[in-house]
Structure 1
Amino acid sequence: MSVPRVGAEPPRPRSWIRAYVAGLVALDLTAALLAAGAGTAVRFHDALGAPSTAPYLYLFLLLPPVWVLFVQLGGGYERRFVGLGTEEYRRVASAALALTAAVAIGAYAAKFDLARGYLLVTLPLLLLGSLVLRYVRRKALHRRRALGQCMSGVVVVGHRVAAAELIRCLRARPHHGMRVVGVCLPTSDAGEGDAEVEGCPVVGAFPDAADAAALVRADTVAVLACPEMDGAELRRLAWRLEKSGTDLVVASALMEVAGPRTTIRPVAGLPLLHVEHPELAGARRVAKGAFDRCAAALALILLSPLFLVLAVLVRAEDGGPVFFGQTRVGRGGAEFTVYKFRTMVVGAEALKAALRPLNEHNGVLFKMRQDPRVTRVGTWLRRYSLDELPQLVNVLRGEMSLVGPRPPLPEEVARYGHDVRRRLVVKPGLTGLWQISGRSDLSWEESVRLDLRYVENWSLTLDIQILWKTWSAVIRGAGAY
């Protein structure tokens, strides 16, 4: 299957990207002005207008353009990081650190006695303001992308099954801003069978990828791991895409291993990918355990009035017990009792066998959207995950973590395959990637994939990110039944 050749003139940048970056510049200028103004007002509130504060008026005018310059130098406006969140924020934080060092060195070199109180207010507010404003703008971008706007066109190069999986993944997560507009299959498959993959047209074979990308006006070519696209072929493809300015991204076979665990190690002139083992023990696990228990203890204290209200509602529903205890499997296969607010009628477990033919889940889990065993109060508790709150006691006892894989039932573990048992090397969590990615709407395979991704890449930073996103998932109530 051949694709007509088109001109090699670089495509014009997407107008929305230019507008988005211009908006980021305006937000950073605003954050700098507000921070400089706040720093001056706080430090010199009783001497505003005095001759000694004149230099700080110049700083008020100078800080915004200097801040934008540092963010630019730090890569905070690069198109490939638009809307990515963590990487974008890291670059802004690095620019703030560089600016702090530059200010300190500049003041020392100029022998200018810069008020420490001014710096302690201005620079933290500058960073916080930029991050908050960028976060708000990124969420607005995500809402537009959910409507199909502000998307980057992608041509996928890979085998049919792998391409279909990537297409489904990107469709389920439009906030990433990537929409597949074409697929290039192996030469032996490109001209045969279905001319579409998950509704996306097959636009050529592997050798046609660069021309196909230009033909469908794609911004990116994504190459999936396959033996046909070896180092030499990837290099040739990169040369062809260079002429049109089209981005090239390559998915390694280690799809679930995050960046911090992978580094490029040059050996004998070859760029080898070094993969660190996940840190499942040692100081990091101790720190995670301490964070979990302290946070759980604080949450139990603060939420005690809510616990009392929920207990009264559950008891008033049918006079049954407030709490429900169930045996689950924790780290290393150890069994423990997990606690929840009761959301089902008394004796619900005995009714499960009769309802099993109505199971709506395609794996070892049992899930029903309209489970007749769930009480009226229980439906509301499940929607907002309030029934899970007593598991804070399990976290305090060290049986669970705030973040981790879903705690499985013993009968589920008995049906685990070898790979799935990898979930048991860490403590199960009150929330996790499964919670912020769809909850009960996820298929069994997707749930396992997310849990394994967490095990392979866990860190305290990732835990905090998941906890932050859990609030949004709970408020939406999506996938809860």
Structure 2
Amino acid sequence: MRNTLPSASSAYPAGSERKVGLSALHTATQGAVFAVIDFLVAWGCWEATLAILHAVGSTPPSRAYVLVWIALWLALRAYQGSYPGLGRSPQTELRLHTVSTFYTILAQLAVTFAVHALDKSRLGIGLLWLLILLFGLPARALTRSFLIRFGWFGRPVSIIGAGKTGAATVRHLLAQPQYGLNPTAVYDDNEDLVGAALHGVPIVGTIQDAVERPQAVHAIISIPGARADVQRVLVNSIYEQYPVTWVTPDLPGVPNQALLPHSIGVNAALEIRNNLRSVRSRFIKRTIDLFAAFVGGVLISPILLLIALAITLDSPGPIVYRARRLGRGGREFACLKFRTMHRDADAKLQALLRVHPELREEFEATHKLRVDPRVTRVGTWLRRTSLDELPQLLNVLRGEMSLVGPRPIVEAETSKYGSIFGEYCRVMPGMTGYWQVNGRSDTTYEERVAMDNFYITNWSPWLDLVILMQTVHVVFKGRGAY
């Protein structure tokens, strides 16, 4: 890369200004759509609240009063940048939605208490914001999916750098359209690459072209290996021309969900939070585990009894299978599952692997078989729906597992984790996890290990909540389960 770049003018070159202006207008229009959706959801929740209040004979607050608080909630969402809310992870979306709703209900309760109307209004207030909390995000997700389907969601993004990091950036953004960052052009200092493509996105020019003729309002600089002086010139030049500029730092392998920017004088600093080493965070996670496992176990106890009866009628053998797995600290424990295999499963497996080397290769690579003769009829259904793992609620109550965590592994798999095995031993394995909601058995073993490591190093309560919600969706689809 050259050490100097052309000085950026304060105005966009002819042609570029119109494209950038249209992009900004398109983003603003999307923001208006999401604001309208939020308002309609909030008002629909209020109408539902009214119906409930009338049914129980409770006096509701006036519509005008409620409208003021809905407007305040919308203003807070706008302040958070939620209209349209591009470039956000699901856990960030969940956190901001929860925080804005929580702040609004606190403010409303405080004002209601101050005017001595709490007794009349608290049921209505609680119902309204509970419904908004439950239905707000699903409504946004449906709207986003609709806009994505018709190519109306997101904004064009220019990628600066066509190297390994730039390619990874393009690949990720194309695979995750819900982020709303749509790579439409790539620039690189190697002129020989101009005219080629990066995962289907054209390399349209050099970095000089990116500065002189910007084609978007958003640029992502993905050249982390550049020298500091070159990086500084590049960032300043791009920053002058693009209203939104992201920079990929030269920090490979560092947790990317736990970074917080700080200033030390005129210098920037990044705080890297290790959430799972925090006593407070571990306490929160364990409290959620105990509460959810106990309440969930009580609620689904009839389902557990029906599954136990089906297993007994389907094939002889115990109802629950105790699989030896490694947990926190590398200690072995009995991971409970509903039995899904015949009693002579191990003998059947060895006989099958002896005569089918291709199946042996599959089993050694993934410790699973897509077509497994050991599995019973009921077991096939239990595995497809992941209901075979429900007895692990007892493991959670015992403190051997968590609701969310890396997948439990056997001793033979430790070598495949390499240096990451130490990270695995820091936490309890989970009933569900990042791997289970991102492909499950359809992924390679290396991808599974990388996903487990991502979860451990980027953990937050919001990530756990997102994984739990996504687990329900994945279980109903049966994707990647066998």
Task: Name the TM-score, length of structure 2 as normaliser.
Answer: 0.81
Contact 2:27 2:155 in 1 (8 A): no
Q: Tell me the residue number matched to 1:113.
A: 115
Letter in 2 for 1:138: R
Of 309, 312, 322, which aligns to 1:312? Answer: 309
Of 321, 329, 332, which aligns to 2:329? Answer: 332
Q: Are residues 172 and 99 of structure 1, via their aligned partners in 2, closer, same or farther at CA, if it must alter by over 3 Å?
A: closer
Q: Tell me the residue number matched to 1:226.
A: 224
Q: Tell me the residue number matched to 1:396.
A: 397
Using the TM superposition, give the Cα deviation of residue 410 of structure 1 relative to its aligned residue in structure 2, in angstroms: 0.4
Aligned equivalents of 2:298, 2:110: Cα separation in 1: 46
Contact 1:167 1:180 in 2 (8 A): yes
Q: Are residues 394 and 136 of structure 1, via their aligned partners in 2, closer, same or farther at CA, if it must alter by over 3 Å?
A: closer
Deviations 1:221-269 (A, max 9, x none): 2222522262331121111223xxxx3222332566244x322232241
Q: Tell me the residue number matched to 2:431.
A: 430
Of 31, 34, 38, which aligns to 2:42? Answer: 31
Aligned ranges 1:79-478 → 2 under 5 Å? 79-81=84-86, 86-88=91-93, 90-91=95-96, 94-96=99-101, 113-144=115-146, 147=149, 149=151, 150-185=153-188, 187-188=189-190, 190-192=191-193, 195-210=196-211, 214=215, 218=216, 220-228=218-226, 230-242=231-243, 247-252=244-249, 253=251, 257-259=255-257, 261-280=258-277, 282-350=279-347, 351-352=349-350, 353-354=353-354, 357-358=358-359, 364-478=365-479
Letter in 2 for 1:182: A
C-alpha RMSD of the superposition: 3.8
Deviation larger for 279-288 or 465-474: 279-288
Using the TM superposition, give the Cα deviation of residue 42 of structure 1 relative to its aligned residue in structure 2, in angstroms: 4.5
Using the TM superposition, give the Cα deviation of residue 290 of structure 1 relative to its aligned residue in structure 2, in angstroms: 3.6
Aligned equivalents of 1:105, 1:293: Cα separation in 2: 32
Using the TM superposition, give the Cα deviation of residue 279 of structure 1 relative to its aligned residue in structure 2, in angstroms: 3.3
Contact 1:222 1:251 in 2 (8 A): yes
Aligned equivalents of 1:221, 1:360: Cα separation in 2: 44
Aligned equivalents of 1:316, 1:130: Cα separation in 2: 45
Q: Tell me the residue number matched to 2:5.
A: none
Contact 2:41 2:139 in 1 (8 A): no
Using the TM superposition, give the Cα deviation of residue 83 of structure 1 relative to its aligned residue in structure 2, in angstroms: 7.4
SS in 2 for 1:332: helix
Contact 2:86 2:180 in 1 (8 A): no
Aligned equivalents of 2:420, 2:199: Cα separation in 1: 27
Using the TM superposition, give the Cα deviation of residue 378 of structure 1 relative to its aligned residue in structure 2, in angstroms: 1.9
* Paired residues, number: 461
Letter in 1 for 2:286: G
Contact 1:405 1:423 in 2 (8 A): yes
Letter in 2 for 1:59: Y
Letter in 2 for 1:293: L
Q: Are residues 412 and 231 of structure 1, via their aligned partners in 2, closer, same or farther at CA, if it must alter by over 3 Å?
A: same
Contact 2:30 2:83 in 1 (8 A): no
SS in 1 for 2:341: coil
Using the TM superposition, give the Cα deviation of residue 407 of structure 1 relative to its aligned residue in structure 2, in angstroms: 0.5
Letter in 1 for 2:459: W
Q: Are residues 179 and 374 of structure 1, via their aligned partners in 2, closer, same or farther at CA, if it must alter by over 3 Å?
A: farther
Aligned equivalents of 1:307, 1:265: Cα separation in 2: 50
Identity of aligned residues (%): 30
Letter in 2 for 1:169: H
Using the TM superposition, give the Cα deviation of residue 107 of structure 1 relative to its aligned residue in structure 2, in angstroms: 7.8
Using the TM superposition, give the Cα deviation of residue 144 of structure 1 relative to its aligned residue in structure 2, in angstroms: 2.9
Using the TM superposition, give the Cα deviation of residue 22 of structure 1 relative to its aligned residue in structure 2, in angstroms: 3.4
Deviations 1:327-385 (A, max 9, x none): 11111111112121222333333425435633686985233322333333222111110
Deviations 1:387-409 (A, max 9, x none): 11122222222211111001111
Using the TM superposition, give the Cα deviation of residue 437 of structure 1 relative to its aligned residue in structure 2, in angstroms: 1.3
Using the TM superposition, give the Cα deviation of residue 203 of structure 1 relative to its aligned residue in structure 2, in angstroms: 2.1
Aligned equivalents of 1:467, 1:158: Cα separation in 2: 36
Q: Which runs of 5+ in 1 are unaligned?
A: none
Aligned equivalents of 1:322, 1:34: Cα separation in 2: 44
Q: Are 1:59 and 2:57 matched, yes or no?
A: no
Aligned equivalents of 1:363, 1:432: Cα separation in 2: 22
Using the TM superposition, give the Cα deviation of residue 146 of structure 1 relative to its aligned residue in structure 2, in angstroms: 6.0
Using the TM superposition, give the Cα deviation of residue 102 of structure 1 relative to its aligned residue in structure 2, in angstroms: 6.1
SS in 2 for 1:328: strand
Aligned equivalents of 2:122, 2:224: Cα separation in 1: 53
Q: Are residues 145 and 382 of structure 1, via their aligned partners in 2, closer, same or farther at CA, if it must alter by over 3 Å?
A: farther
Aligned equivalents of 1:328, 1:177: Cα separation in 2: 40
Contact 1:332 1:425 in 2 (8 A): yes
SS in 1 for 2:203: strand
Aligned equivalents of 1:415, 1:285: Cα separation in 2: 27
Aligned equivalents of 1:316, 1:146: Cα separation in 2: 47
Contact 2:214 2:241 in 1 (8 A): no
Task: Name the TM-score, length of structure 1 as normaliser.
Answer: 0.81
Using the TM superposition, give the Cα deviation of residue 448 of structure 1 relative to its aligned residue in structure 2, in angstroms: 1.7
Using the TM superposition, give the Cα deviation of residue 438 of structure 1 relative to its aligned residue in structure 2, in angstroms: 1.5
Using the TM superposition, give the Cα deviation of residue 46 of structure 1 relative to its aligned residue in structure 2, in angstroms: 7.6
Deviation larger for 365-374 or 10-19: 10-19
Contact 1:96 1:123 in 2 (8 A): no
Letter in 2 for 1:134: G
Q: Are residues 268 and 309 of structure 1, via their aligned partners in 2, closer, same or farther at CA, if it must alter by over 3 Å?
A: same
Q: Are 1:11 and 2:21 matched, yes or no?
A: yes
Aligned equivalents of 1:395, 1:451: Cα separation in 2: 18
Using the TM superposition, give the Cα deviation of residue 323 of structure 1 relative to its aligned residue in structure 2, in angstroms: 2.7
Aligned equivalents of 1:96, 1:76: Cα separation in 2: 15
Using the TM superposition, give the Cα deviation of residue 439 of structure 1 relative to its aligned residue in structure 2, in angstroms: 0.9
Q: Are residues 204 and 403 of structure 1, via their aligned partners in 2, closer, same or farther at CA, if it must alter by over 3 Å?
A: same
